[in-house]
Amino acid sequence: MLTTLSGTYRDGTIFLDEAPQIDHEVPVLVTFLQETTQLPTERKGVRLGSWEGKYKVPDDFNDPIDDLADYM
């Protein structure tokens, strides 16, 4: 079973925000999270609405396809 708890490291001691529900000795891993102050980078990709007015859906888009009539 894996359990994740949050806490704070201060002056050589780890302070957990809550007590774990474990009643026996178990191995643990401690990961230190660095606070970052990086500004968000510009996102790559397509912006919503960027294709507006650049294409047209045909009026018969939802009509049955005659080529598939033999299979239906």
Whole-model pTM: value is: 0.43
Q: Are 8 and 15 in contact (CB under 8 A)?
A: yes
> What is the torsion angle, in degrees rounded to the nearest 10, for the CA atoms of residue 18, residue 19, residue 20 and residue 23?
180
- Give me the pLDDT at residue 36, please: 67
Segment 7-48, tens digit of pLDDT: 988 999 999 999 988 889 999 998 888 876 666 677 777 788
